[in-house]
Amino acid sequence: MRTLGLLLSTAGLAGAGFVLPVTAQAAPSPVTSTKANCGGVKIISAAPVRRNWGSNAAVGSIQLKRDACSNYWAEVIAYDKVVKFTKFKAFLLRYRGNDKIGTNLSCEVPAGSARTCATASVSDPNGGLTFLAIGNEYNGSNNGWASVSKGQTAKVR
């Protein structure tokens, strides 16, 4: 340790830390981890999450939401408690024209007392993107999950 201190002081770096000038910074990502406190939240498109078989019963809903600051996110809502070996997921897909861009944002409602989750939000103040929300219910375990219910909203700008 003494040798390191001597070496740093000789180089003029002791106590100064390593400060590098920043000449350029990346543009902020449009994906935010939390919704801004903008208010004016609206459901701009919604659809039932329906069973893929049998009665085609609605077991939940998928909602595409937007706030007053043009943040968009998907929220899935299970109508009943999510039971063991079941989970619900919401996906937010982004498009520029007909081209899907970026990765899908998602969230998961595992078995337990929770019945809803919302994805991270995407800011689009210029209105250049369109969005689609998908909600799925899965049955299974760590050995594999199968989609048993699905719903998707309209693609909306």
Ordered by where they begin, the domains of the chain are: 30-152 (2.60.40)
Contact 135, 119 (CB under 8 A): no
Q: Residue 43: what pLDDT?
A: 98
The residues with which 93 forms a beta bridge, in sequence order, are: 132
* Integer Cα distance of 28 and 40 in angstroms: 24
User: Token pair for residue 31?
Assistant: 């994906």
The pairing of strands 121-123 and 31-32 is: antiparallel
> Chunked in runs of 10, what are the mean pLDDT values of the chain (157 residues)?
42 39 37 63 98 91 97 98 94 97 96 94 96 97 89 95
Q: Residue 69: what pLDDT?
A: 96
Q: Residue 17: what pLDDT?
A: 38
Q: Residue 141: what pLDDT?
A: 76
